Structure 1
Amino acid sequence: MFWNLTSPGHTVVKNRHGLVVRAAVSHARGTAERDTALELLQSLPKKRRKTVGADKGYDLKSFVQRCRDLRITAHVAAKDKGSAIDERTRRHAGYEVSQRKRKCVEEPFGWAKVIGPIRQVKQRGKPRVNALFQTTMMGWNLVRMRNILATSGTRAGHEPAWPHTPRRRRRQAHEHASRHITSLSKNGRNAAPVTCDRRFSTAC
């Protein structure tokens, strides 16, 4: 999550490839994380049952029950006492996988603060901050998909889609992408929708 004092950012990330499938900015309040997470999860395609991993801040009966109503199994980190996650959920191997993979939800935020423009947000107002956040997450998806294609091409025995370059050229490419993302955010463009898979993680 990133905080602009009054506008925290939230994402839902596909665990398999680390792509951001939903992103939004909300107003800071006591229940903003869970409320926005449910809104983002509700907007996902409802064709297949899904799981969602999250930290202990989401271990509440109201959140877990609402996820079940959406046909989503909540694989949140269980509290030591008074956990809403029962043994039926924790005994499955998928729960352990979700707990390992949910940490990848922090990678887009780290990239967006180091490479992207959200370390110190200069925009004011929720619509402008949301446009900046959406565009930054779109930039992360482009970088991530480039790396996925390069890796898959190498494994298949073909030339990688993004050839290996010296460190200096890679840094210049990242700086160019950062400037491009900033210019897009000034124009107020929103990120395009991204297809998603069954297993997700949320960070708010």
Structure 2
Amino acid sequence: MKLAGKVAAVTGAARGIGRAIAERFLADGAKVVIGDIDGALVAKTAGELGKPSDVRAVETDVSKRADVDRLVATAVEAFGKLDVMVNNAGIARNYDFLAIPEEEFDAVIGVNLKGAFFGVQAAAKQMVAQGSGGVIINMSSVNAHLAILALATYAMSKGGMNQLTAVAAVALAPHRIRVVGVGPGTILTDMVKTAIFSSDDARRAVL
């Protein structure tokens, strides 16, 4: 049980990569709080993953600071602390570069970059208060480096997340908080099926 005694929070955890992360953390002995904008689904997922004594669900829109703060507060209230934060929530929108609407740009940046910033900051404040360090994991993407035109806003947000990770790692190192990024390739999640493989150009670029 590698994570016995640890408490983790995972955003975007009702399905896909986030759910898989939460499932593995629980299998390794951690207590886990999972957040997702789909409140009904994240509650259902929590029930499927484990007992209330091990896992809690919180409806969380990561683009809203108060929601992210509530996610962290729930971990502390339920399990006494926070050791690991995984900023996994993300969305993608499929547009020709010259046709990207402002509101869609704002939506993607709001979830993928601003949401990750809120997660890093909220988790770090709690970890600093605890005085015992911690780990913050930002789920980036190969798209931070790979330019797929149909996914321009997604790529921009993940590039920003990489720099957020680098800056936060330096800023939080004195507090014994490690900030790391993970940049997976294409994983066939629901988001990939709808936002990426729905575009012939994006599919060809990925494959």
Greater relative contact order: 1 or 2 (C-alpha under 8 angstroms, separation 6 or more)?
1
Q: Same fold (TM over 0.5)?
A: no
Greater fraction helix:
2
TM norm structure 2? 0.31
TM norm structure 1? 0.32
Structure with larger Rg: 1
